[in-house]
Copies of this chain bind each other. A is one copy, B any other.
Amino acid sequence: MNILFTCAGRRRYLLKYFKEIIGGSGKIVATDMQLSAPALTVADVKVQVPQVYAEDYIPAILQICKKQLIDILIPLNDLELPILAERKSDFEAIGVKVIVSEPRVIDICFDKYKTAQFIESLGLKTPETYVDYNEAIAAIKAGRLNFPLILKPRWGSGSIGLEFVDDFDELEIVYKLNRKKVMKSILATASVDDNFILIQEVIKGPEYGLDIVNDLDGKYRGVSVKQKLAMRSGETDKAITVDNADIREIGATIGKALGHIGNLDCDVLERDGEYYVLELNPRFGGGYPFSQEAGVNIPKAIVAWVKGEDVDDSIFFPYYDAMFSKCDILLNVGQLQNKT
């Protein structure tokens, strides 16, 4: 069983989790734009590839799959998900199982405005969200939307371009600035509608991260709920697993309705005892290791499913009150490490 991780970046722990599962029976292959990406230090084979929007990106990944006899491809970057979802059949034609959802699902998750509409269609709550500037202004004046607000790229990734505004003046100027910023960034390619800035109500209260697991047929199997205690660079930095049946129920509702494949990283905010679903990322998120360290094992499930085996649903639920923090270690990523 050979596994390829694309855009491996800093997800060293995830490669290690999969390596533990396949043991000596296969190899871990990892790609990144930079051979010095720290996750590559634990790969058996590391390959430098073009940027995800480059014309030769998919051909390069296909070639690696053929050469390395890849069985499973696990993409880790938001921007490549739509591309891989569209090209999934090209990979399946050469025997590669791509752990990516269908384009309909990717579209709902990547477009944060569609995410909000999808969540509401399930009868769940989401923060008040606008993409039309004038509609947002009208909503504020009518009392349906209240400051503080958060502005963010509608097609975003990580914490790029998040800005809080406290009044009409700030809203006007930050909205203009944010438009310019996104147009100058890598997110410009993904911003396919002129209303590409989201204007959203800020919910102040506890934040939760969910790992909602569906199997390879898109059937819901389980959920892990973690309360986020600290963030860093848009990723969960410290978290504790919690036993909250209401939030698990929200996770189950989303997993069943969305029909994604594999792991869905989901953010939930709490205010006055009500839960607001904020974001859906149909991939392993930066908060996943907090589930794995608390006993969850999605890598084990994915490998079993691709082999045609099954696992007990208990491995998708963590033990509770496990508090973990990320912390830096230093890795040698220099020339000695680049020999493959």
Contact with B along A319-332 (1 / 0, CB 8 A): 00111111111111
Choose from B322, B323, B328 the contact partner of A326 (Cβ within 8 Å). B328
**Quick one: which of A2-43 are within 8 Å of B by CB?**
10, 12-13, 36-39, 41
The answer to whether the Cβ of A122 comes within 8 Å of any Cβ in the partner chain is no
Residue of B nearest to A322 (CB): B334
**Could you tell me the distance between the alpha carbons of A289 and B328 in the complex, rounded to whole angstroms?**
10
Which chain B positions have C-beta within 8 A of A333? 238, 323-325
Chain A, 239-258, CB within 8 A of any chain B CB:
240
Q: Are B334 and A36 in contact (CB under 8 A)?
A: no
Q: Is A130 an interface residue (CB 8 A)?
A: no
Say whether A293 faces chain B, with CB atoms less than 8 Å apart. yes
Q: Name the one of B328, B331, B334 contacting A12, with C-beta atoms under 8 angstroms.
A: B328
Is A317 in contact with chain B by the CB < 8 A criterion?
Answer: no
Inter-chain contacts of A229 with B (CB < 8 A)? 36
Whether the Cβ atoms of A330 and B12 lie closer than 8 Å is no
- Whether A329 and B332, one on each chain, are in contact in the complex, defined by CB atoms closer than 8 angstroms, is no
Digitize A280-305: 1 where CB-to-B-CB distance is under 8 Å, 0 elsewhere.
00000000011001000000000000
Q: Which of A74-82, A169-177, A207-215 contacts B (4 or more CB under 8 A)?
A: A169-177
Interface assignment of A232: CB less than 8 Å from any CB of chain B: yes
> What 0/1 pattern do residues 165 to 199 of A give for CB contact below 8 A with B?
01000100110010010000000000000000000
A280 to chain B, nearest CB (A): 23
The reply to whether A323 and B173 form a contact with Cβ atoms under 8 Å apart is no
Pull 29 A–B residue pairs with CB atoms less than 8 Å apart, ordered by A. A10-B328, A12-B327, A13-B330, A36-B238, A36-B323, A36-B325, A37-B325, A38-B238, A39-B327, A41-B327, A173-B173, A232-B233, A240-B334, A289-B330, A293-B330, A321-B335, A322-B332, A322-B334, A323-B333, A323-B334, A324-B330, A324-B331, A324-B332, A324-B333, A325-B333, A326-B328, A326-B330, A327-B329, A328-B328
| Chain A residues at the B interface, C-beta cutoff of 8 Å | 10, 12-13, 36-39, 41, 166, 170, 173-174, 177, 180, 229, 232-233, 238, 240, 289-290, 293, 321-335
Give me the 8 closest cross-chain CB pairs, A-B, nearest first.
Answer: A323-B334, A38-B327, A326-B328, A38-B325, A173-B173, A325-B333, A324-B330, A289-B330
